[in-house]
Chain A
């Protein structure tokens, strides 16, 4: 069955979109990541213009973040104060990102820019994750790995000590932190830029940043990050709707619907798989997507010309 997307002004297969939502929902339920990094490239692959894919994806992220955060909220695993400070950076980042998006669109390089950013981000995160998890899986017995780990810990400690010296400190009682406001604002800013340019929540980047740079307690990180993502992506969504008119509510509904069902299946499936293996599979998927995108950038394209109607 086909449905006509009123904003994209194209007709698209309902089954394909539901299936994509299902797969992404499965990943988010299984690994606890947003999965936006898969939706945008696949929507583009299915013929949805990049601008519509990114704009619409931001509103889908609002729904999946709300679903995700409610559980954390019930368990009181959300540090609202840090989230609000991060949000300040996130909103500025969103405005900045939408602005950059518009410039790249005018230059006609938006598709290339999105691809390059994806390759760099997914490639580095994927290989880091794969390296770390495989080290913890196979290197547990080795003394060398232990020494390496100690090295790394001291490095992180040094960095955190350095960050503790930064000015404009704020106390965050929930996380028992007393750090410079620049850190959460900066991390939020990056999240906002990623949300509006790439249509991703950026959880896979924000979560490690919050752990390493801020030293936030691990139990609070996921909930706080998701809470903040709701507002950043919601804001980015409104910005895209106003400045670019690229948010398609019909497409968003289909993605959300598939995502809800997929998340349920994912959560159930994850109970049967150990955490380390889940991380390795996720890292492999992330790397695969980045390799496919990199090949598209480096190989001579079949069609040299592209058309844009203004």
Chain B
């Protein structure tokens, strides 16, 4: 009996190896056919920052369907639900979600959006509706569901999550371009831009680039000083306030 199982396993292995090898080769070849580039490697947030466009370029020679995503850094996010206590609306119930992207936007090829391949994308976690978070603690998913939905709704209202996929602009068939619009209050951190190519039901190629969104100049120096030397920052602010108050009095008295 044991011998039989071994034989079957061996045959299966023999059959499987060439398939797996072919798939790997195909992916390697497809990966060569996909290139991705960012117009800028970083976005600097200065004091007058009011949002920016991030332009992603690339070449897709594989012939497969293309998906481009822009994902912000992940953070532990709490969702609270208000409830009535003694007639007052207080925060009653809280669920914590692990590793929630602070920002999410994505783009699909115009044709793909009509092709009904959304199920596949959903399975791969692409698109806002496909996002799955881990809830902290043992909570039945049915209970956490409304909190999860509220999280996505609020992120969308804040323009931190896309409502819908953007279209990928195709230039001459193989060259593609995506324009992601960042709002004024875009969260800072390391963003990942991913380009993926699907053929049939398989992901055949993936490329990623990193985008730094950070405060720069005066604003950045203030932020780092306030976090690294918080005591001196606090004292500085108070001295500044005393000076401003004194100056105001001098100006007032002169008039």
A→B interface (CB under 8 Å): 1-4, 6-7, 9-11, 59-60, 62-67, 70-71, 108-109, 111-112, 116, 230, 234, 237-242, 245, 247, 249-250, 252-253, 256-257, 260, 263-264, 267, 297-301, 303-310
Q: Is B235 an interface residue (CB 8 A)?
A: yes
A310 touches B242 (CB 8 A): no
Interface size on B, residues (CB 8 A): 60
Q: Does B248 contact A (CB under 8 A)?
A: yes
Q: Is B200 an interface residue (CB 8 A)?
A: no
**Is there a chain A Cβ closer than 8 Å to B11's Cβ?**
no
In the complex, the answer to whether B89 meets A301 with C-beta atoms within 8 Å is: yes
Q: Choose among B45, B240, B246 the residue with the greatest number of A CB atoms under 10 Å from its CB.
A: B240
Q: How many A-B residue pairs have CB under 8 A?
A: 185
Residue in contact with B249 in the complex, picked from A62, A70, A116, A308, CB distance below 8 Å: A70
What's the Cα separation between A60 and B244 when bound, in Å? 10
The residues of A that contact B235 with a CB separation of less than 8 Å are 238
Does A7 contact B46, Cβ atoms closer than 8 Å? Answer: no
Give, as a whole number of angstroms, the nearest-CB distance from A193 to chain B. Answer: 19
Q: B241–A256 contact, CB under 8 A?
A: yes
Q: Do B248 and A63 touch (CB < 8 A)?
A: yes
**A62 and B89 form a contact (CB under 8 A):** no
B11 to chain A, nearest CB (A): 53
Residues from chain B with a CB closer than 8 A to the CB of A9 are 185, 187-188, 215
Q: Tell yes or no: B212 within 8 A of A by CB.
A: no
Cβ-neighbour of B50 out of A7, A11, A298 (below 8 A): A11
27 A-B pairs with CB atoms under 8 Å apart are A6-B215, A9-B187, A11-B50, A59-B238, A59-B240, A62-B242, A65-B245, A67-B252, A71-B249, A112-B90, A230-B242, A238-B234, A238-B238, A245-B227, A247-B234, A253-B244, A256-B244, A260-B251, A260-B252, A264-B252, A298-B88, A298-B89, A299-B89, A305-B80, A307-B78, A307-B155, A310-B77
- Main SS class of interface, A: helix
In the docked arrangement, what's the CA distance between A148 and B97, Å? 60
Partner of B102, one of A239, A249, A305, A309: A309
* 5 A-B pairs closest in CB distance: A66-B245, A241-B234, A238-B234, A11-B184, A305-B150
B245 touches A3 (CB 8 A): no
**Cα A112 to Cα B88 with chains together (Å):** 9
Question: Chain B: residues with CB nearer than 8 A to chain A?
Answer: 45-51, 75-82, 87-91, 94, 100, 102, 146-147, 150-151, 154-155, 184-185, 187-188, 215, 218-220, 222-223, 226-227, 230-231, 233-238, 240-242, 244-246, 248-249, 251-252, 255
Asked whether, in the complex, the Cβ of B248 is within 8 Å of the Cβ of A4, the reply is no
Distance to closest chain B CB from A52 (angstroms) = 12
Name the one of B100, B184, B187, B233 contacting A4, with C-beta atoms under 8 angstroms.
Answer: B184
Supposing A11-B185, A62-B245, A309-B77 touch, asked if A109 and B91 sit within 8 A by C-beta, the answer is yes
In the bound complex, residues from chain A placing their C-beta under 8 Å from that of B46 are: 4
Question: A241 — which chain B residues lie within 8 A by C-beta?
Answer: 226, 230-231, 233-234, 237
Q: A10-B185, A230-B242 are in contact. List 8 more A-B contacts (CB 8 A).
A: A4-B215, A66-B246, A239-B234, A241-B237, A250-B222, A263-B252, A305-B151, A308-B77
Also in contact, A252 and B48, with CB within 8 A (given A6-B215, A260-B244)? no
